[in-house]
Amino acid sequence: MKRYRLLAFSGVGVVAILAGVLFFGNLNDNLVYYLTPQEALDQRADFPDGRRFQLGGFVEKDTVVRTQDGLRFVVASGTEPGSPSVTVEHHGAPAQLFQAGIGVVLEGSWQGGEFVSDTMKVKHDENYQPPDSGGDTP
Amino acid sequence: MTHALSAAPGPVRQCVELARKDLRLELRAGEALLVTAPFGAVALLLVPLAVGSDTPLLRQVGPGLYWVVVLLFGVLVALRQSAVDDPAQLAVLRLCGVHPAVRLAGRAAANTVLLLAFELLLAPVAVVLYDPDLSGWPWLPLLLPLVAVGLAVLGTLAGALAHGLAGRTTLGSLLVVPVAAPLVVGATQTMDAARYGRQPWAWLLLVLTVDLLVTVALGLAARQLEESA
Amino acid sequence: MSRILFGRRLTIAVAVALSAGLVAAMLAPPDRVQGNLQRLMYIHVPAAWLAYLSFAVTLGSSVAWLWRRQMRYDRVAAASAEVGVFFTGLAIALGSIWGKPTWGVWWTWDPRVVTTAVMFFVYLGYLALRRATLDPTARARRSAVFGVVAFVQVPIVHMSVVWWRALHQPPTVLKPGDPSIDHVMLATLLLNVLAFTLLYLLLLRARTRLAAVEEELETAPLGEGQELAGSAVLAPRLERS
């Protein structure tokens, strides 16, 4: 019985350590749903042209331009000016809620210095406000 | 005596009653639609986790994956536990003068209904998960029953062949799946052809031919299988 | 029969609460970004909350069964899991409907969405296990063990949006600090959560009562002079010599 308990406790300990390693270690960074523009720029060497990944960030104001079959805009890591940003060329229709300042997750790959995407998802935040209550976005 | 014989139900009636019995058993056990169908849905959910989230790629492989899952798990539907007759049941049916072909036809009819329900349950899951190109959808009302019939008859045949054996479901699946390959080819090509604006009659004809072929085979084999049972 | 199963007072309370919740959801202000689409939240969030609640009740009564071995705990666990599976399915379906216009897709491989689907299938497996096991004691024991193990999913689902970077928004209310939602909306949401919780209690009670009646029926002795299997089989009669 004592031996069994020891075995069980060491088993739980090993599981806890492994979970900690997985959780705080490098693996968690590879499991992300999308990369921020900052990470995408840092890891540019790991993602050659054509390797697909998802890029997520905020659409920078006054950068949205309509093109023949989609949009061009700049995606930044944060809403404040000067945060790292990536120019995106999106082919296809924009999502219904797409607008300047909103969060988007784009699927595509690097094409030189630009990110060419073909799938767009809009990420809305957890804040809910009625339209006329002011707030931080116009 | 003659009166009793003339009052005995005809083969069609027998077949319908046997199919109803199978469906009622499924309604009680829930093996096909409450266990196998979620299993198939989990398979559809797991594939993209293994492949990685690449929307255009998934959109492209979605219909094919759907048909493969329908084939692999549909065999399990056809070979479900409630579709096994024990020796006493077989003896009673034989004593009542039910022809073996009628018995298997009843099973095949029940399997067809269940497989059709299985396909209809999984289709919305595949559509939501993969967001495929659905421009060939008008052909589906024709295609789904044809594939269900083919798979149901094949499953009935395999169930009869593997009857009473220990590895019934695995052995039965092995017997069915390679033979059912034309069904998958026909189904995916029908959708593809419709998407590119071609007429998919040739592929539907292929599925129909397979259906008729296996039905004839089942009818011919029924008596032989009965004697060996 | 339905009155015995559902009772009267609780049914009225549920009807009143649900209609009040519906009216409040209609009257609440629309969201700044999402507009009227955001009203789906008033059903989506309570449904997800009920899923958590019912699986927690399943966990609790599974533990109680393992501890006390009384059949009523098993009945509560089963009833709660059934209700929970239904509301998980509802949350997924509504989330999908909400996701199409806001995110732009029906489905995405987001951690929250995928873990919720896995939770749905795990508890579907729980129900299948119950159906497949015929002996009541074996069924209670096995499903109690599985009911405890399966609950691992629930914290994973809830924390998935915090642990991993996701498309799904992080918790609005169940987080430390002030809820980041307009207070009229918050009140509406809480009213709907309350209404759904009452509905859960009603369904749970009805299902538990039904299970008790079923059990009684199964263990009831066959009446004297009753046919064994309908009129199909006659019980053998001994000839008096």
Contacts of A124 in chain C (CB under 8 A): 33-34, 102-103, 169
The pLDDT value recorded for residue C17 is 93
**Beta-sheet strands, E only, within A44-132:** 53-59, 65-67, 70-76, 85-91, 103-111, 114-123
Position B184 in a domain: yes
* Residue of A128, A129, A133 to mutate, testing the C interface (most C Cβ within 10 Å of its Cβ): A128
Cα–Cα distance, A88 to A117 (Å, whole number): 7
User: Would you place residue C241 in the very low, low, confident or very high pLDDT band (cuts 50, 70, 90)?
Assistant: very low
User: Would you place residue B229 in the very low, low, confident or very high pLDDT band (cuts 50, 70, 90)?
Assistant: very low
Residue with tokens 């998980």: C88
Amino acid at B6: S
Which is more confident, C143 or A137?
C143
User: Would you place residue C196 in the very low, low, confident or very high pLDDT band (cuts 50, 70, 90)?
Assistant: very high
Round the CA-based radius of gyration of chain C to a whole number and report it: 22
How many domains, chain B? 1
pLDDT in tens, A3-24: 888 888 888 899 888 877 776 6
Res. C120: pLDDT tops 70:
yes
pLDDT in tens, B17-70: 999 999 999 998 888 888 899 999 999 998 888 877 778 888 888 899 999 999
Per the CB < 8 A criterion, the answer to whether C79 and C89 are in contact is no
pLDDT in tens, C54-69: 999 999 999 999 999 9
Our separate counts of H helices and E strands in chain A read 3, 6
The pLDDT value recorded for residue A47 is 84
For chain B, say whether C94 makes contact (Cβ under 8 Å). Answer: no
Rounded average pLDDT over C192-219: 91
Contacts of A33 in chain B (CB under 8 A): 53
Specify the CATH number for A32-123; select among 2.40.160.40, 3.30.70.20, 2.60.40.10, 2.40.50.140: 2.40.50.140
The pLDDT value recorded for residue B132 is 87
The pLDDT value recorded for residue A48 is 85
Round the CA-based radius of gyration of chain B to a whole number and report it: 19
Instruction: List residues bridging with A59 in a β-sheet.
Output: A75
Q: What is the ipTM of this complex?
A: 0.80
Q: Which range has highest mean pLDDT (A85-89, B5-9, C45-49, C168-172)?
A: C45-49
The pLDDT value recorded for residue A138 is 33
Q: Select from C34, C163, C171 the Cβ nearest to the Cβ of A124.
A: C34
Rounded average pLDDT over A88-117: 85
Instruction: Give the predicted TM-score (pTM) of the model.
Output: 0.84
Rounded average pLDDT over B218-225: 86
Res. B123: pLDDT tops 70:
yes
Res. C37: pLDDT tops 50:
yes
B81 alpha carbon, distance to own chain's centre = 15
Element (H, E) at B92: helix B87-95
Rounded average pLDDT over C222-231: 59
Res. C1: pLDDT tops 80:
no
* Residue of A30, A35, A52, A116 to mutate, testing the B interface (most B Cβ within 10 Å of its Cβ): A52
Res. A135: pLDDT tops 70:
no
Position B3 in a domain: no
Res. C133: pLDDT tops 70:
yes
Position B2 in a domain: no
Position B1 in a domain: no
**Domain span at residue B94?**
9-228
Res. B169: pLDDT tops 80:
yes
- Percent of chain B, pLDDT > 70? 95
Position B73 in a domain: yes
Res. C119: pLDDT tops 90:
yes
CA-angle at C137, arms to C134 and C139, nearest 5°? 50
Res. B165: pLDDT tops 60:
yes
Q: Which residues contact C62 (CB under 8 A, 6 or more apart)?
A: C73, C77, C143, C144, C145, C147, C148
Helix (H, G, I), strand (E, B) or coil at A85: strand
Domains of chain A, by residue range, sit at 1-31, 32-123
Contacts of C121 in chain B (CB under 8 A): 38, 41-42, 45
Helix (H, G, I), strand (E, B) or coil at A75: strand
> Of A19-23, C27-31, C48-52, C198-202, which range is least confident?
A19-23
Res. A136: pLDDT tops 50:
no
For chain B, say whether C164 makes contact (Cβ under 8 Å). Answer: no
Position B105 in a domain: yes
C4 alpha carbon, distance to own chain's centre = 21
DSSP labels for chain C? Answer: -HHHHH-SHHHHHHHHHHHHHHHHHHHSPPBTTTBGGGGGHHHHHHHHHHHHHHHHHHHHHHHHHHHH--HHHHHHHHHHHHHHHHHHHHHHHHHHHHHHHHTS-S----HHHHHHHHHHHHHHHHHHHHHH--SHHHHHHHHHHHHHHHTTHHHHHHHHHHHS--SSPPPSSSSSSS-SB-HHHHHHHHHHHHHHHHHHHHHHHHHHHHHHHHHHHHHSPPPTT--EEEETBPPP-PPP-
Contacts of A107 in chain B (CB under 8 A): 53-55
Rounded average pLDDT over C140-163: 89
The pLDDT value recorded for residue A25 is 60
Per the CB < 8 Å rule, is C103 touching A121?
Answer: yes
Rounded average pLDDT over C138-146: 93
Res. C98: pLDDT tops 50:
yes
Cα–Cα distance, C164 to A22 (Å, whole number): 12
End-to-end CA distance of chain A: 67
Q: Select from A32, A33, A128 the Cβ nearest to the Cβ of C38.
A: A128
Q: What is chain B's mean pLDDT, rounded? A: 87
Cα–Cα distance, B219 to C73 (Å, whole number): 52
Res. B220: pLDDT tops 50:
yes
Q: Which range has highest mean pLDDT (A48-62, A83-97, B32-46)?
A: B32-46
Q: Select from B41, B49, B128 the Cβ nearest to the Cβ of C114.
A: B49
For residue C229, the distance in angstroms to the closest alpha carbon of chain B comes to 16
For chain B, say whether C127 makes contact (Cβ under 8 Å). Answer: yes
